[in-house]
Structure 1
Amino acid sequence: MKSKKRLALFTVVAVIQLAIVLYMAWQWEDILQTGQRFEWETAPVDPYDAFKGRYIDLGFKERSGPVMDNAKFAYGQKAYAIIGKNADGKAIISGVSAKQPAGKPYVKVKVTYVENGKAHVQLPFRRYYLPEHWAALAETAYRESAGKTGVAAVRLKNGYGVVEELYIGDKTLDEYLRNSLSKK
């Protein structure tokens, strides 16, 4: 009898652990499949620390927005960046609030500082992962294009964001690298 209870308890714990791991993976895939898409202009990055392992460390031009609701933010405080689009269709932070917005696309952020009524924030999506064999070429291509033609397509849903694709000019990074290799 005692061993049956242990087996049942073990089974329940194992199922719960498996469910948690599966949910964590599903959450990010769900954002990629059903999240609202925004295109963020990338900014130049430190050329000495732009690429680590198998990802590109992304920097973004748009990192601040007006403080909403007269909120008082401290360094590192969690906040909500409300996302909109500019005339070119690129993502902008239309406001930073201490309260979760209803009915508007937003992403959870950390406030780095506030100056002249604008909250500067740290966006939660800063890495673009790619296959190992593209690493050196991707680092060079991204560094050369950052701030000029680099755009990251990011999907947002329920305050979370996932980088879907990186573009250089009008081509995806993959297309850009394949074209670069075929020209050599």
Structure 2
Amino acid sequence: MSEVKLATEIRSEFGKGAARRTRRENKVPGVLYGHGSDPIHISLPGHELLLALRTPNVLLSLDVDGTTALAIPKAVQRDAIKGFLVHVDLQLVTRGEKVNVDVPILTEGELAPGAFLVEHVLNALPVEAEATHIPESVTVSIAGLAAGDSILAKDVPLPSGTILGVDGETVVLQVLSAQAEEPAAGEGEGSTASEA
């Protein structure tokens, strides 16, 4: 798991106007919370944070007012149109501490011959892992699967020390036939004739 060091500044101004001023300085307003402490309002360097967040569940080593704090992102708000970072919530963690996170699910291999589709019922798998050893992703083999086959959460290989955070019988992905859908009742010839 990657660890990214970022410098922060304590924020003393709040509200929309203060947040806009922070973003104009190419910084992102954020809140650091956890371990029963009062939330700390901070600003982080925008570009460096954006690059760090490309890694799912990245571990951030933050310089907060002269002390080092470890944190993971819990909520990231982006502008709906332009995609820039608006705000970030960070959870304090310590080495050795267990945290609950969602880990992206990747697939490898080829399905059985024929036209099939893989439906990801879950795009990310909830797991419990040590804060400094969160897997970036988990990989599931779909080699040889055919229509009607599925992979359950208990079938997903997890790194050592990582515990499944959902029921083992939860469907993670399933293989569907790629046949065209049947027309719904009332559609088909009757509707075509009325359009002519």
The normalised TM-score by structure 2 is 0.27
Report which of the two has the higher share of helix: 1
More strand, by proportion: 2
Structure scoring higher RCO (CA < 8 A, sep ≥ 6) equals: 1
